[in-house]
Structure 1
């Protein structure tokens, strides 16, 4: 007869005390989302509230995560896994936690041509189940182009001055002016643009069935107007230049646009957002933050 294997975790510890979080992090797991499989990393844990228990059953957390690899990622599935964490640690834990992060690929069309390509969006989802119910937090990252309004105004002034100098005392001729505008001598200055990033930390409504990730990304990119492109032809690049020219924005403008797009969104209970414009003029970044919480 095989002897029972020792369970050291069940033994008492001379300095036993409750712990906020115990578990594993960086677990490799395939996650099903929007019809694709994400190579995700998952953190899983529970609170250790019983001072009479030395350790938790980490293998049970690991095995419970299998459900996430077999089903489409949804709020009910997350709730089921978290409840299993608690059931496996009855009398030991009052709160259960899951955090997963990976990159979601979404095919995006070009602005004008028939081309398209894949954009990678970093996402992070945190779920906690405890005495106050389910809490969900989704973090999304959106990259876009931002053209400085101040730089654009200064460039326009230089072009005006160049025009005044080149055509001083001359009879204005439509064809000559058109040729001048299309020349390097005419456009003597251009505004500076930079690749920029918005990080959206979103508190989701726990009554949701499905995670509205793509809808939230689409809403953010529509508000900004200058989402980064994938495959492009010259016509697409020209359309992108036009979009930048029509969407001049400081980091403050970008933050306000995103705030207005997300405020009172039915899927959200609150958010904190940060926009970073990686300056091409300065050696430092321009940053703006905003937050909102639904009134209870």
Structure 2
């Protein structure tokens, strides 16, 4: 059968940085605790460059068949992705010397409630990106975690308003009994102001040290443990009260959140480099408050765009 993609077109010659497919629907395999393998649905982007200027195109079907054969048959690991990209290049010998792959999926984790016996599922967006330039291979893991952030400044201003109301309601020199104060603290009149809090997002991109597989749940746990206020699933009143207590004990500007995550990532030997972005989706403002931190070693993360 004719293959017009292989025909040279001298009048339209030119090398191309990347050619391939995006949004490929593909099941992928992930290794969990106890070597349990689970299957999840993903969207895959597969590319090679086209360095031969006179070649009209690449072999798209070869990319798809390699993706299908590798990703649906073996768990995602740095080693398996390296083999897949090597197959991309071997099947495009003479046309390409760079290959890249991006796999996006939601990873579900069962989470226990804070106080009750209930639990529920949390979905975490995950992206794995791999690239091969000749024989040089690199891979990155990106995870998003949602959490609650209560503004320290708003908390301080609220406390001041409560003190002002107490001064108004209980005149100087008047004896106040414990039960009266206790009742006042439990009333809307007493707690006249509350600090604002908002749902927030931590986006973490890490480069793993050689020899480690993808520690997806471990990194999620690391970030949530550092922040202490991840969003919840099944919630009864006792869980909501426990969540309010955690927020009150973990007041955070976006800078505080970024530094907490930064210190946690710095302490993990599996992480050779990282970039992180803490975004507080303000309830006070129509814009986000954002802080970015990096480890900033040879990968160039130190120059990362904060809007990434």
TM-score tier (shorter): over 0.9
Instruction: Show the counterpart of 1:161.
Output: 164
Query: Following superposition of structure 1 onto structure 2, how do residues 185-200 of structure 1 map, counting pairs within 5 Å?
Result: 185-200=189-204
Instruction: Show the counterpart of 1:292.
Output: 295
RMSD across aligned C-alpha pairs, in angstroms? Answer: 1.6
Paired with 2:165 and 2:245, the residues of 1 have a C-alpha distance of: 22
Equivalent residue of 1:65, what SS?
helix
Deviations 1:161-206 (A, max 9, x none): 122222223213122211221122211111111111111122233x
Instruction: Show the counterpart of 2:29.
Output: 32
Give the conservation status (yes or no) of the 8 Å contact 1:76–1:209.
no
Instruction: Show the counterpart of 1:243.
Output: 246
> Is residue 70 from structure 1 mapped to residue 66 from structure 2 by the alignment?
no
Instruction: Show the counterpart of 1:224.
Output: 227
Query: Following superposition of structure 1 onto structure 2, how do residues 76-155 of structure 1 map, counting pairs within 5 Å?
Result: 76-131=79-134, 133-155=136-158
1:59 corresponds to which of 58, 61, 66 = 61
Deviations 1:13-41 (A, max 9, x none): 11323221111111000111234322111
> Is residue 9 from structure 1 mapped to residue 29 from structure 2 by the alignment?
no
Paired with 1:184 and 1:59, the residues of 2 have a C-alpha distance of: 66
**CA positional deviation for 1:209:** 4.2
TM-score (norm 1): 0.93
Q: Which runs of 5+ in 2 are unaligned?
A: 300-308
Equivalent residue of 1:32, what SS?
strand
Equivalent residue of 1:125, what SS?
strand
Give the conservation status (yes or no) of the 8 Å contact 1:135–1:204.
no
Paired with 1:286 and 1:136, the residues of 2 have a C-alpha distance of: 29
TM-score (norm 2): 0.90
**CA positional deviation for 1:266:** 2.2
Residues matched between the structures, number: 291
Give the conservation status (yes or no) of the 8 Å contact 1:99–1:125.
yes
Paired with 1:81 and 1:295, the residues of 2 have a C-alpha distance of: 25
Give the conservation status (yes or no) of the 8 Å contact 2:212–2:270.
no
**CA positional deviation for 1:132:** 5.1
> Is residue 259 from structure 1 mapped to residue 259 from structure 2 by the alignment?
no
Paired with 2:86 and 2:296, the residues of 1 have a C-alpha distance of: 27
Give the conservation status (yes or no) of the 8 Å contact 1:18–1:48.
yes
